[in-house]
Amino acid sequence: MAPASKVALITGGASGIGYAVASMLAAKGWLVSIVDIDQEKGIAVAASIGATFHEADVPDYVSLVNAFDGTMKCHSRLDFVFANAGITDPRNFYQTQSSTPPPEPSLALLDINFKGAATCAYLAHHYFRLSRQNGQPAYFDPSLVFMSSTAGLETYSPIPLYTAAKHGMVAFAHAIATPFKESNGIRVSCICPGPVFTEKRKPSDAARPDMVPMETVCNAVDELMGPNGGFGRCLRVLSTGISDV
């Protein structure tokens, strides 16, 4: 009997890096669940690569748990989670406010980029364990990869909330890596790319020497997922190559 296809769940999978990784895995024969807030685009891109789509807003626990649970009910297993969903925020955190007291700041970026990733880890831990209890074979090797950024390794004062979220993600990945591995054999790592050439970039950005090719980011994820990917790793992904931090 041929081994069952492996199953991946990717948040923010309807575009950019998430879609590129989803396409890579689908081409390798994986069953892929794309999770995204953009229903129209998500349905279309999922159909284009033979994936399934689950609409979810990652800070919203109910919608995210429904995506995980729906994936599990559909495939009876989960092998890989890519906690990729994230946003940037062009608003100026340092803007002088004219009213007193000042208006409440928007912290949606922290909710999506950090809270959403932490919730993904919580759910991945549960559904990976459930997969093992469902009788997966000895080679079952669940892994969780967080999508951080070079902003998680350095200080970017113009974007303090984004920097805080990405630093938090790196620290969180390191904090849970050993407990996840020792208790349930779950491998946790993260990637920290520089600027990546996605569809949201201007065409002229492709010529920038610091622009990271999408293929390089996919190679970093593929390395961490592989049998020799280890755990507790943090990969800096630049236009010049990939290195452990």
Q: What residues are annotated to the active site?
A: 162, 166
Edge to edge, the sheet with strand 80-83 lists 52-55, 31-36, 7-11, 80-83, 143-147, 187-193, 234-238, 241-244
Give CA–CA dist 1/23, Å, rounded.
Answer: 26
CA distance 105 to 123: 29
Q: In this structure, are strands 52-55 and 80-83 parallel, antiparallel, or unpaired?
A: unpaired
Q: Which of 222, 37, 211 is closest to 143 using CA atoms? A: 222
Specify the DSSP element, H or E, that contains 27: helix 16-27
Q: How far apart, in whole angstroms, are the C-alpha atoms of residue 26 and residue 42?
A: 15
The dihedral formed by the CA atoms of 51, 54, 57 and 63, expressed in degrees to the nearest 10: -150
DSSP 99: S
